[in-house]
Amino acid sequence: MTDPRSPKPSEASTKKAIEDFSNSLPIDSGTDAENVARGFIATRTDPIIPRSESSPQQNPVWDLSRSDFVNDPLPETVNPSLWRQAGFNAQHGLYEVCEGIWQVRGFDISTVTFIQGDTGWVVIDPLTTSETSRAAYELVTEHLGHRDVVAVIYTHSHLDHYGGILGVVDQERIQAGEIPIVAPEGFMVEAVSENIIAGPAMIRRSIYQMGMFLPWSSTGHVDSGLGKGIAAGSSALVPPTIEITETGQKLVLDGVPVEFQLTPETEAPAEMHFYFPDHRALCMAENCTATMHNVLTLRGALVRDALMWSRYIDEALERWGDVSDVVFASHGWPHWGEENVKSYLVCQRDLYRWTHDQAVRLLNLGETPDEIAAQIELPPGLWEDWLCHGYYGTVSHNVRAVYQRYLGWYDGHPSSLEPYEPVESAKRYVEFMGGMDHFLTQAKKSYDQGDHRWVAQVLRHAVFADPSCEEARLLQADAFEQLAWRAESGVWRDVYLMGAQELRQGTLNAEVFRRPNPDVASGLSTQQVFDYLAIKIDGTKAVELGHIFLNWVLPDVDETIRIELSNGTLHASSGLTHDSPNAVVTCSRKQLNRMVSTGDGISDLVASNEASIEGDAELVFDLWKTFTDFPLLFNIIEP
């Protein structure tokens, strides 16, 4: 007897949907395959990239052989367009972009670029982890000779573009000021707000978006669309030393001239393009890749500005389209030849403008997000370009994001103002539908008719009304799975399959909390540290403590912070003090970082003589007791 929790084959209706979709796909000219393979030099002999502290076969950070299955014939459980993209993203190694510029691709979800300077390497986007970044550097050294990394450029404020810096540069050289680190204006603020302030929720949602707990197989994770997946090693947040503050700004890094273009609120809140005139090479960061990107990522982030995204691509086209022989990015593969560069930028520009303008047109006609998503498709000229397909972003969730940017969460209908919360709503739905037995009978009928979208949607109420109902859980899981088999988007597939897995096996129940790691904590400003601590406060409990005034002294960095608790909210001002504080807390910045990254309390530091408190120590301890720990694995698929 088949295990009801095991993956199911494609139903007849799913096979038909995949066949119909396949027939709609554009002709494959072979150009993408040629570009992916172009310039290949070599790859790593050992496919395993180990953790820094482990032996090669224990919990590897990355396994280059993990995607070898995508070389098999197309299975019935993967969308053919996604399978094609997965095959391209699975190719890995060192590639020459043009004379003096190389990339290492496939060692992480992102791509790291090495540019030869007068004395060493200028590195663009040193990947997510130090382990994958170091492995890329070693491959470059093996085949191109040893050169020190003498400068680093962060294209934008997402972890996979800065987290691996310590794999290519020693912390000692950074602290000595030997390495210029270039980033767009606002980089630190945005890196912290996206990855620290809302980090606990984002990482949990990222587990779904990237299918982090799924096996890599034809019935599991296949590809993220943007790259293979997320590396799981050591990351750091090292602040930039040079900020690009205006378009047209120029630098010379180790003899390499660079011209910059700021592109805020595009794929990241802080992002930039740049051009290398000596190489006639244009870097588009993550604003132009080998897929439609997200106007709002499923993990959650600030909504991006699709209109300005399009305009910034247009500006890059105007500035550098006629003088670029190659365009490359931090994901995907390059494009060569002036005409190919321009046509690539035109389609990417039009992609985000189409998304924006058509969504805004419909919202101004009174259409709601779901109605808009059901109506908009890519026009023929963009659909015929494989690089505009929704492997990562999708038209469906991107047009909803445009709506959200302009009009917010409220769809205008009065019933949306104060709906019941999910569990209470679910109980009422089940009752209205004649009880659980009748509900499930109807859902099973819809499933047998191939209406898996409806089954997935309606059974949310059944699972939330009674999460112990095995029949409801397994039927919804089966519906999610059929939707996954037909999804062109790698992240939609992963979200469906993560939901199915947790319905069948239960959400992992592990006492794991999400906190910034020590390298990230040390990169925060003191203001950012206290902003992070402020979001941990349970305001209802803190209100009972009344009005508190503290001075916090960090003697090792010669800094004093004025702290105020008012109406359950914490406020911090660096460089200021209260005249008559309730208490004065003294510790090193290192110990403050420790509390952020480990969850240790101020009382622990006082007990070990690593901190001292003058005044009302109990009040400080009581404040710390209001702090909330954020679990890594909160429920998503069930209440």
Write down the pLDDT at residue 2. 74
Superfamily of domain 29-407: Metallo-beta-lactamase domain (3.60.15.30)
Q: What single DSSP character describes residue 537? A: B
Among 300, 288, 403, 415, which residue's Cα sits nearest to residue 356? Answer: 403
Q: How far apart are CA 233 and CA 130, in angstroms?
A: 7
Of 126, 121, 119, 118, the closest CA to residue 101 belongs to 121
CATH class of 419-505: mainly alpha
pLDDT at 317 over 70: yes
Instruction: Report the C-alpha gap between 486 and 75 in whole angstroms.
Output: 11
Give me the half-sphere count of Cα atoms (radius 13 Å) on the Cβ side of residue 469: 22
Residue type, 351: L
Identify the H or E element spanning 502: helix 490-505
- What is residue 393's three-state secondary structure? coil
* Model pTM score: 0.95
Q: Which has the higher per-residue pLDDT, 144 or 200?
A: 144
Tens-digit pLDDT profile for residues 273-299: 999 999 999 999 999 999 999 999 999
Which amino acid is present at 497? L
Q: Which residues of 451-481 are buried (b: 16+ CB within 10 A; e: fewer)?
A: bbeebbebbbbbbbbbbebebbbbbbbbbbb
Distance between CA 173 and CA 630 in Å, rounded? Answer: 35
Domain boundaries, the chain: 29-407, 419-505, 518-625
Enumerate residues 6+ apart whose C-beta is below 8 A from 563.
Answer: 530, 548, 549, 550, 551, 552, 570, 571, 572
Q: Residue 55's pLDDT band (boundaries 50, 70, 90)?
A: very low
Query: Residue 412, exposed/middle/buried by CB under 10 A (0-12, 13-18, 19+)?
Result: exposed
CATH code matching the domain that covers 518-625, chosen among 3.30.460.10, 3.30.420.40, 3.30.1050.10, 3.40.50.300: 3.30.1050.10
Sign of the Cα pseudo-torsion (33, 124, 230, 309, in order) = negative
Name the pLDDT band for 71 (thresholds 50, 70, 90): very high
Split at pLDDT 50, 70, 90, the class of 19 is very high
**pLDDT per residue over 377-407, tens digit each?**
999 999 999 999 999 999 999 999 999 999 9
pLDDT value of residue 54: 47
Going from the C-alpha of 385 to that of each of 21, 56, 206, 374, 378, the distances in angstroms are 15, 41, 28, 21, 10
pLDDT band at 1 (very low <50, low <70, confident <90, very high): low
> How far, in Å, are 232, 494, 604 from residue 592 at the CA level?
26, 37, 12
What are residue 550's phi and psi, to 5 degrees? Answer: -130, 150
